[in-house]
Amino acid sequence: MEQYKKEFIEFMVRSNVLTFGDFVTKSGRRTPFFINTGNYSTGEQLNKLGQFYAEALNRRLGTSFDVLFGPAYKGIPLAVTTSVALCSHFSHNVSFCFNRKEAKDHGEGGTIVGCKLKENLKVVIIEDVTTAGTSVRESIPLLQATATVRVKGLVVSVDRMEKGTGEKSALCELKDEFGIDAFSIVTLDEIVSYLYKREIDGMIVLDESVYARIEEYRAKYGAKC
């Protein structure tokens, strides 16, 4: 596993974003692990987070995209901090934009804030975690209604590797449905293999008991792709 992925996993644990216990997801599934990116709350954390996203994007897509789109609300700071990191660390000066939840009825109006989308711009959607892919399915028509852009990819922080609306994972479903490159900084497999019985700041967060519950969860909800 690449070093930046190991560092990202530890970063999520230390930021209290990746936790283990007993949770219920928005879809109603009872899960032994939870990823709450709303717990990132400092400038230092956002600075590091942007660097991890930028690293994953650079490795996967290089400089083959022009714009980052962050769906409101959690995607907004992700698009901003990642665009800064891409410029600072990879000399890739990408634009960014995001949507309003409600269309502006004065001034220029519209729902897109930031980069003025133009024909043939290559856009990457940036998200925290996607389970069912709902926001992406809403974002792509919104972007294409604004201009004839090419939605090139989707990047998320963690691939939970569980079923979306069918037997495939949400990322695989979106990849097949829209023909985009959908990927994550890390996958659940990578998280489990790295954290199992490993001490983080003197504490083991993924012990045998948690491991067994994750395996049970994945037997029930794990995706084939």
* Mean pLDDT of each 10-residue bin along the chain, 225 residues long: 97 97 84 93 97 98 97 94 98 96 60 92 94 85 92 95 88 93 96 97 96 95 87
C-alpha distance from residue 14 to each of 7, 70, 100, 111, 202 (Å): 10, 24, 31, 36, 12
b/e code 181-211 from CB counts within 10 Å (16+ = b) = bbbbbbbbebbbebbeeeeeeeeebbeeebb
Structure tokens at 46: 């956002």
Burial 81-98 (b: 16+ CB within 10 A, else e): bbbbbbeeebebebbbbb
Q: Is 151 helix (H, G, I), strand (E, B) or coil?
A: strand
Strand partners, 112: 99
Q: Given 26, 101, 106, 224, which residue is catalytic?
A: 106
pLDDT at 225: 84
pLDDT at position 164, please? 83
Q: Residue 106 catalytic?
A: yes
Q: What is the pTM of this model?
A: 0.94
Residue 6 annotated among the catalytic residues of the structure:
no
| Residue (of 12, 101, 113, 7) closest to 68 by Cα position | 113
DSSP 39: G
Task: Give me the phi and psi of 95, to 5 degrees please.
Answer: -85, 170
Of 115, 215, 222, 158, the closest CA to residue 9 belongs to: 158
Instruction: Spell out the CATH class of 3-221.
Output: alpha beta
Which entry of 104, 116, 197, 220 is annotated as an active-site residue?
104
pLDDT at res. 103: 61
